[in-house]
Each structure stands twice: as C-alpha cells, then as structure tokens.
Amino acid sequence: MTNLGDRRLGLLVAVVGIVIIYMSLQLPEPMSGTHIAYGPGFFPALLGVAAVVAGVTLAIVQPSAEQNEDEDAAAPAETPRLGGPVLVLLAVLSYIYLSDLIGFIPLATATLAILLMFGGMRFPKAIALSLLASILIYLMFSKGLLVPLPRGLLQPWALWL
C-alpha cells in the first residue's frame, strides 16, 4: 500500500475511534447500588482510544521507501484470499446462533482452535491455548465484570462456574 493509502486508512481508523468514544460517552452511567465503578461505555471507550492511537500511528509513522520497495519486489502478485475473513464471519455467526445452546466455553474453545489451526498452529497447541483462553475470558467476564455468559452444555456444573 502506498504511503498516501496508509495515511488515509490511518485517519479513517482514527475517525472511527473518535466516533466510538463519542457514542460510548452517551451510554448510561453505572447502576446505583452496585459496586461497579464503570458503566457500559467503559470498554467501548477503551476500544475507541485504541483505534485513535492505532490510526494516528499508522498515519504518522511510515516505513522507509527502501522497505516498501523490498516488500513490493518480494510479494508475488496473487489474487486476494477470502478464506480468513469468511471463516471469521462464520465464527461470529456461530457464536450468535449457537452460544445459548452450546455455551461460551465449549463454543469459544472450538471456534478459537479452528481459527488458530487455520492460521497455522498445530492441533494440540491450538486446543490447549483455546481452552485456556476461553476459561480465562469466561472468568474475567462472568466473575470480574459480572457479565453473564451462556453456560449451555456446562449448565449441570454451574456451581463450579
């Protein structure tokens, strides 16, 4: 991509981040009587800040012309691959439609393992990392942030979750 294209993309990402921050500030305050000091706009605001920082960095920091020439010479001209984006879209749709039935931990483990293996990770390592990440994310959201995640197939063991 050219430097001008990188700058435009960076500015677009920064503008999207600003919009996310603005919209997250419009969300309601935390419920009174709870021990949570942050409301529903906290994480979207963090995401917006990250998008602004990433966009500004992309717009300002440019690789040298020599590096761009080396990348252009090394990159073979091939058609764009749609397998990755389609797989991510299927993963999101599967979570939307199957999470209540299957539950967060099993579905997130399977989905993340498939995505990692598609990216080139070997099966045992992908399963172990996916299971660990799914459990940590579940605990962070359900216990730390008090966001109820679907238990699905793990409902019989709900006391342990």
pLDDT, one tens digit per residue, over 50-79 is: 999 998 998 888 765 555 555 555 555 565
The ranges of the chain with pLDDT < 70 are: 1-4, 30-37, 63-80, 158-161
Q: How many other C-beta atoms lie within 10 A of the C-beta of residue 118?
A: 14
Residue type, 84: G
- What are the C-alpha distances in Å from 65 to residues 1, 42, 161? 12, 40, 53
- How big is the CA angle at 137 (ends 37 and 33), to the nearest 5 degrees? 20
Residue pair 102/153 in contact (Cβ under 8 Å)? The answer is yes
Report the pLDDT value the prediction gives residue 88, as an integer from 0 to 100: 84
Report the pLDDT value the prediction gives residue 24, as an integer from 0 to 100: 87
Report the pLDDT value the prediction gives residue 1, as an integer from 0 to 100: 47
Report the pLDDT value the prediction gives residue 110, as an integer from 0 to 100: 92
Q: Where are the domains positioned within the chain?
A: 3-74, 83-160
Going by the DSSP 8-state scheme, the letter that residue 141 receives in this structure is I
Residues 6+ apart with CB under 8 A from 130: 108, 109, 110, 111, 112, 113, 116
Report the pLDDT value the prediction gives residue 41, as an integer from 0 to 100: 79
Report the pLDDT value the prediction gives residue 29, as an integer from 0 to 100: 76
Q: Can you tell me the distance from the alpha carbon of 127 to that of 61, in angstroms, rounded to the nearest whole number?
A: 37
